[in-house]
Structure 1
């Protein structure tokens, strides 16, 4: 890496941890920064008030006390793998922040569209698979030491398919979740979260988990996929906590500050009909108002646990003409010059 000395000094002084904004007690304000280690490997620099500042310092100063990150078993390119995530979690903890770990139990993305098992687990007997999942979870708890751990990511259809397919093998699914939960309880006091994408169908899904030992319900909420009615989301959150006695979090959400782009990679959100209009236009203030509305909705619920924003760090990173860059740069916490946006001020007097 080639840096000029003034920039090195700026970044070194950015590593201290004074807080500008103190978070509300008992409410978790989080951002998913899973790609930050990859971005740092590409020397991407972020700015607050036009000053180059470390990402974790920016988050801490703006009241974020929890960082969410994903974990893949044996990813092809190494990013989001065990060694990288362990180092990242240690760095987050050094700031006095908590680690919210989304364990995908896969070598790649796990979501409602795919829940493939790690390659090294394919072909195992079910008993051997349960032991492997247990031992892997024990290793996570002992070495990464998350404060919040998700058993799977967006597991609407189950996880580690086909073994844990909730539709084809509900008993197997419950056995796997229970085994992973036991691994956490045997080795840690971390909070266990079960994560569901959206809210439609969630009451039925969580009714199947009443004999599972877990602490938190997590929901993803993206208007493009899960609807634009915040009142419906609020109603289901309240219904879930009332029915199952669990605190509820929005584990993933995001919103654009523009419909423009900063590379040639197709953005996931890029059209007006994907927005909640007129309440939340795709502007810097509109993005901030959306996040503020989600945060306040959860914060005002008696059993609301917190909110985590997904892709806060995902600025364009491969150049302005990259077709393999970020599909999310218009939903990040930073503009196209990597300057921090008003959305970061949701807990301060500068709320947009």
Structure 2
């Protein structure tokens, strides 16, 4: 029976979900033994101490939150090591990392479709995940002709002497143009924003619309207002980490090979409820689509709702949202359909009908266009998320 040494922080929702996926793989396939060292062990004894303990226990692999790894020590240990990266990816070993860039792209497109044309990004220490989420967000906004206002972190924050400089952050928030769409690098940082906005009398979402990352249920729901967040495929990422380890053990692949955790969807709550569109009819149409996407609605139905010609309305709608009315309807349906695929056991036909797709064959073409894969491939990719509650 293989022995897996864990060196990770269990206080965060992300890490607990990750370990759930790893343990689920073990239960289903391998029945590994796990031993967890507390994080302070590394702080007290360094990587040398961790490796010494791994030898003593006879570990067959290590999954750890290493920031830096001494390649000579790794060679000496000669077992698979998967680093859960924090500051940067480790080139010497496998990483549990993320598609951080596309999380930023998802955030930018979400805000742009809601009509926002002023944007901000909040991070502090410029780690790989903070940096790349920001790069995805900023590059997408710039391609649309916009600019992103960045938070200038203080020296104390950069040197990790202070988690957040409340005075500096509060001043930045107060000076932002309003209304503005603010993307935070994760839910913890987004919570900093909602807390300080409350103290400063800045209204969310009317003045600042806030979106985080991780969909940490506790953090999102203690925020006032409740926080919208990008959900990541973390449990499935843990399962894939287990698969990767087993492939290492069976010599099917040779390390280093990375596990990349992808963003799935945006879970919307009160912090992003506001639409910012200058044309009241466009706002009316967006609200109608969001409410009635599961019904039999068409572009003609929508055009008949407002006192504008089709040509003028289509042009105005695209200017406000960056997409056509038809594409907006399909996008909303695809996002709702995607969520049903990975959170329910409904058949593809049943799930498609529930979100308003009446032509079953057509859904494959539409889904492929938006997700670059078939519905079946998408469900299979995220299959193990459904096992989260059974662990």
Please state which band the TM-score falls in when normalised by the shorter chain. Answer: under 0.3
**TM-score w.r.t. length of structure 2:** 0.26
Q: Which of the two has greater helix per residue? A: 2
- Tell which structure's C-alpha radius of gyration is larger: 2
